[in-house]
Structure 1
Amino acid sequence: MVPRRRGRRPWHRSRAYRLARTAVLVTVLVTVVRCGHDMPHGGAARAGHAAAARPVPPPRPLPRSPATTLRVPSVDVDAPVVGVRLDSAHQLRTPPLDKPQLVGWYQDGPTPGETGTAIAVGHRDSRTGPAVFAALAQVPRGSRIEAGRADGRTAVYTVDRVRVFDRDDFPDKEVYGPSRRPELRILTCGGLYNRRTGYTSNVVVFAHLTATR
């Protein structure tokens, strides 16, 4: 069952995912994250030594095209994506609670492979059991994330790190800040669950674009 924090907004309407459009595209929106309902250059070859690997140039950013699917093979996620926007209170909506296997993509921010900080969100659990991002905290560094696009192309991201942040000490700028390259953040609830106060933390996956196809 998806928990609800007493006296506070539910997870899907909490400040955990409150974003303004400028938070992703231009500036950082100062937020306090809450989660109560339910993240060397290679040298020349030398004799007797293998040639050092040359750095791979980053892929060109992709033009705008909406996200359609999100795959995280390391934790068996292969989910359809729905676009989400801000509500009248400037809070980022999430997929419906009765469809816990959907991923929400902030559609007024960068699309897969576009320059900037793209945001995807999803539920950790539901009233019927684990949701799409139940295992998000277990995504290993260096693993890939594949975001399908409406134009048939795929943006492939590589995971830089996975962090669990206390909901009362959430680093807004680090998570939501603008980027000069295509990056992706995936967020869900994390930490311990208390029936009265909800989850204690947020899980955030940080990734950057490394390939397109």
Structure 2
Amino acid sequence: MYGGGLVWRRTGPAVVALLAVTGLGLITAGLTTTPELPPQPPPAAAPTRTSAAPDLPPLPRAAPVAVRIPAIGVRAEVVPVGVDAAGVLEVPPLDRPTIAGWYRHGVSPGETGNAVLVGHVDSPAGPAVFFDLGRLRPGQEIHVTRADARISTFTVDAVSAYPKDRFPTDLVYGAADVAGLRLITCGGRFDARSGNYVDNVVVFATRTA
């Protein structure tokens, strides 16, 4: 994934995952070596909360402006992304691989429901914002700064990789009774023939502070 070559298509109120990556081919064209592979998460499994979600009142809607993930050294700006005319999820600009995108048609971090952030895994210059996403483990924290100056802290429940034709749409975009967060990038084996990674890496987290 050229950082963020994730592709979803909107169908009514739901977002359905399609074969997800084309972007990395833009990087590898003309290269003779395979790019450095990102860290691999454990095999896919149904996410379970690491502890009971605290009884926190939901926050009002406010766009996220930054994300910090201490365990993997991420400090990144967050920009809103939507869908294009064909209903495909937009991603952060390819010339800015160190920023993350927030799916603005969904909930914002801290509201009840699952907020979604997407980011590139690599770039022509090397690893991008979510290169190390597969290193995250349950219990580690993600801090999202919002436009209203509030910081929502989320605790990781699970990190899994899914083949792109079996993207867990319901787990990512489905209804939730607490404030959740989903981080998404590309990962898995690199297919030199297509110039793409074969999987999507998904981090599942729940608001804890």
The TM-score with structure 1 as length reference comes to: 0.79
Amino acid at match of 1:202: N
Correspondence for 1:118 among 115, 119, 135: 115
Inter-partner Cα distance in structure 1 for 2:53 and 2:88: 38
Q: Matches of residues 12-161 of structure 1 in structure 2 within 5 Å? A: 12=5, 15=7, 17-19=8-10, 22-23=13-14, 29-38=15-24, 57-161=54-158
Post-superposition shift, 1:19? Answer: 4.3
> What per-residue deviation string (whole Å, max 9, x for no partner) do you get for residues 80-111 of structure 1?
01011111111111111110000000112111
Identity of aligned residues (%): 42
Contact 1:182-1:208 within 8 A present in 2 as well: yes
Q: 1:181 to 1:89 in 2, by over 3 A?
A: same
Post-superposition shift, 1:180? Answer: 1.9
Q: 1:114 to 1:20 in 2, by over 3 A?
A: farther
Q: 1:91 to 1:59 in 2, by over 3 A?
A: same
2:184 alignment partner in structure 1: 187
2:193 alignment partner in structure 1: 196
Contact 2:80-2:101 within 8 A present in 1 as well: yes
Question: Any runs of at least 4 consecutive aligned residues in structure 1 with deviations exceeding 3 A, and if so which?
Answer: 17-21
- In structure 2, runs of 5+ residues without a counterpart are 25-40, 42-51
The TM-score with structure 2 as length reference comes to: 0.80
> What per-residue deviation string (whole Å, max 9, x for no partner) do you get for residues 32-83 of structure 1?
34224239xxxxxxxxxxxxxxx77421110011100001111000100101
Two-structure CA RMSD over aligned residues (Å): 2.1
Higher CA-based Rg? 1
Contact 1:37-1:199 within 8 A present in 2 as well: no
Amino acid at match of 2:202: V
Amino acid at match of 1:37: G
Post-superposition shift, 1:155? Answer: 0.6
- In structure 1, runs of 5+ residues without a counterpart are 4-10, 24-28, 40-54
Q: Secondary structure at the match of 1:168?
A: helix
Larger mean CA deviation between 175-184 and 29-38 belongs to 29-38
Q: Secondary structure at the match of 1:35?
A: coil
Contact 2:60-2:111 within 8 A present in 1 as well: yes
Q: 1:146 to 1:97 in 2, by over 3 A?
A: same
